[in-house]
Every structure is written in C-alpha cells, then in structure tokens.
Amino acid sequence: MYKVAIIQNRLQRGGRLQVMIYMIKVLNDEGITPDILTLSSRISDDDIKSSYFSGKLRFNIKEVSKDFKMPFEWNILYFNYVINKYLYKYDLIINNNNTSYLLNKNLNLLSYTHFPRKARNLSAKKSIHFPNGPNKSIWDYKSDLLCLASKFYRGDDNQNKNELIIANSNYTKSQILKYYNVSSEKIEVIYPPVEENYVLNRKQKNQVVSLGRFSPDKRQLEQIMVAQKLHDYYFYIIGFVNSKEYFKSCSDYIKKNNISNVKLIADATKKQMIELLSTSNYFIHSLRNEPFGITTVQAIQNDVIPIVHNSGGQKEIVPFNELRYDDIKGVLKVFSFLLKLPDNQKNIYIKKLKENIKNYNVNSFKRRLKKLIYKKLI
C-alpha cells in the first residue's frame, strides 16, 4: 500500500482545511490512510465533522515540531525546512501549504495552491487583500519582521522537477505563471470541492447573508456600513471568530450607531449556515483578490444571488459585471439594480450562475484529484 503524507503548517478552520478533508476522502476511497504532518492542530475531530464533513475519515495527525511563536511567513518557511527529514519514507507528498520553497527538490510532490505565497510576499502591499492599503513595514512582527521572508522568496525558483502543481482557479494559475518559471502545462486547475447543500426553504424578502471568518480582510465592517444605508434589508453576517478584536470592533460599531438590521453570528454550525443561506435572497462577499470563493458557490447552489467584489477568482464564479462592485458606492448600485429587477429576471440570473458552477462540486474534485494522484504514484 502506498504511503502518502499531506503537509500543512497549521490546521485551522478555513478553505485550506476544507480542501484537505476531501483530499483525505479521495485517499480513503482508494484504501490509503494518509499522515497529516503539521506544526500544530487547532481544530478537533468533532469540529471537523460538525463544520466540514459528517462521514468517517481515516487519517493520522503528526505534529512534527513545536509551533514556535514567530511571524506567520517565517512559520511557513520554518515548517518546510524542518519537515524534510520526515518525508523521505513517503511515496507521495500532497503539499497544501501554498509553497514548496525549502522542501527537498527530489520529493514526489503534488502541490495544491490556493494562492502562491511568493506572490503575497513580493507584493509591495502589506496585504494583497488591501490593494489600496499601506505598504509593507519592516517592523511587521505579526507577518514578516524585517521583511526577511519577502527577501527569501526572491530565491524561490520552483525547480522541483517532480512537482505537479494544482491551482484552485484560473486566477491563481495566472499568478503562479507570473511569479514562477514554470510552464502552463505543468499546472492543472481543479476548483475546490463545494459540497452540495441545497435546502428548499421559503425566501425571506430582502434578506442578505455573508459567510466568512471574522477578519479585517473579509471586511465585515464594510458590510455593516452597507447595511446602515439599506434600511429595507436585513443582514446576517456569519463566520468563525478569527480575530476577537475585529469581531468586537464590528459589534461595537453596530451598538454605537444603533443599527437594527444586522445580526452577527459567531462560530455558526454548518446547519445554521445552510439554513440562513437557504432563506436569503442575496449573498455579499467583500474580500479583495479572493483566489476562489467557496461560500459564493454555496450561495448560488441555494438560489441566492451573489454580490461580490470585482477581483480575483470571484470573476470566474460570477461572470456578470452588474453583480460585481469596486467600492461601497458600487455595492449600493448593485442593490439598486436588483431591487428594480423583476423576479423572473432574477431567476434567469440564478439559472445562468448555476450552469456556470456545475463543475465546482465534490465529485468533479474527487475524480480529477484521483487521476492526478495515480499519475504521480504510478
């Protein structure tokens, strides 16, 4: 039986973990129990089952080193360096870490790239999700003190001849091609697995829902400011609390401005999220340069019209300019457009959006990933 490892510096809620769950499922279906190599696991088996997957999974979590407190970018490079001595015994390593830099160049690698870390690090901006935000500072301890990781990544030439790269969208693929000396033929695009959770519920008039971790880059505060101007709409803003400080700032803003048409729901269960999606008319997603956007696909599955930022992989999921925006003024313009749109026209949009996402599903992900796994093993 083949020995397979999946590597990721930290296990915590988010898109990377959701993709990993279905990687494990694909391997389990082929009789393989993978080892998950990480620095630290911040989510329990019960959390995985309640939030991501209700079926039985077989895997072994192995924490390979102490998760020292250090800037996040350093943490990833440290992990890739120390993990090498554990990987020689595996037939295949599935890399879920967004970079193969510092990994042994002789490893048999299948790398799933949610967004290349080199692209993040060589950007002049502190965050690619704040294109109009501040430039990087050398004193940024939380991310990259002295910009050391950013300088390090300039030497990342991606010269592992045994590596096959998977991109989670065509947008991500374009960024890999931009920053690495790699041919287009070496990169496969496999959209993340989006579980079909369609629930037939009566839609509530002018109900808006948002799904995503509470974090500044997800811009829930911006969504609250939009709700503040749209008194005839009720907003449910749902997500796990990634930043307690940011969640508090959102809550404080609502209280300070006496906003009555917004409800924040922290650490919602999968069941709660699907129920609110199924009763909503509109979904709003505010992250800039989102590499893909799993929750947008989930919204469309539930006949919810998405309103998304005009950047990144969201443009692949929502190919209609009139449903995308650039700023708060643009969001209000989209809502105004939808308010005047007859129901039969809204249904046409939903039908076209569903047709567009027909390959963004679990079965497609599993089928294509299985094919690549065997291509690497045989």
Per-residue pLDDT tens digits for 336-346: 999 999 999 99
Q: Does the pLDDT value for residue 297 go beyond 80?
A: yes
The reported pLDDT for the residue numbered 308 is 98
Task: Tell me the mean pLDDT in the region 240-247.
Answer: 92
Cα gap 357→359, rounded to integer Å: 5
Q: According to the model, what pLDDT value does residue 68 have?
A: 86
65-109, pLDDT tens digit by residue?
A: 888 889 989 999 999 999 999 999 999 999 999 999 999 999 999
Percent of the chain with pLDDT over 70: 96
Q: What integer pLDDT is reported at residue 66 of this predicted model?
A: 86
- Residue ranges and CATH numbers for the domains of the chain are 4-193+361-377 (3.40.50.2000), 207-356 (3.40.50.2000)
Distance CA 233, CA 254 (A): 15
Q: What is the pLDDT of residue 40?
A: 82
Q: What pLDDT is recorded for position 11? A: 87
Q: Which is higher by pLDDT, 223 or 137?
A: 223
pLDDT score recorded for residue 15: 82
β-pairing, 92-95 with 60-63? unpaired
The pLDDT-based confidence of 14 (bands split at 50, 70, 90) is confident
Residue 200 has pLDDT above 70, yes or no: no
Burial class (CB in 10 A: 0-12, 13-18, 19+), 161: exposed
Per-residue pLDDT at 157 exceeds 90: no
Residue 337: its pLDDT value, please?
97
Residue 52 pLDDT more than 80?
no
Q: What does the pLDDT read at residue 53?
A: 62
Give the three-state DSSP class for 237: strand
Helices marked H in 88-197: 117-122, 148-152, 170-179
Provide the residue count of the chain: 378
pLDDT of residue 50: 60
Cβ(276)–Cβ(236) under 8 Å? Answer: yes
Over residues 162-167, the mean pLDDT reads 94
User: One-letter amino acid identity for 11?
Assistant: L
pLDDT in the model for residue 49: 62
Average pLDDT of the residues in 239-268: 95
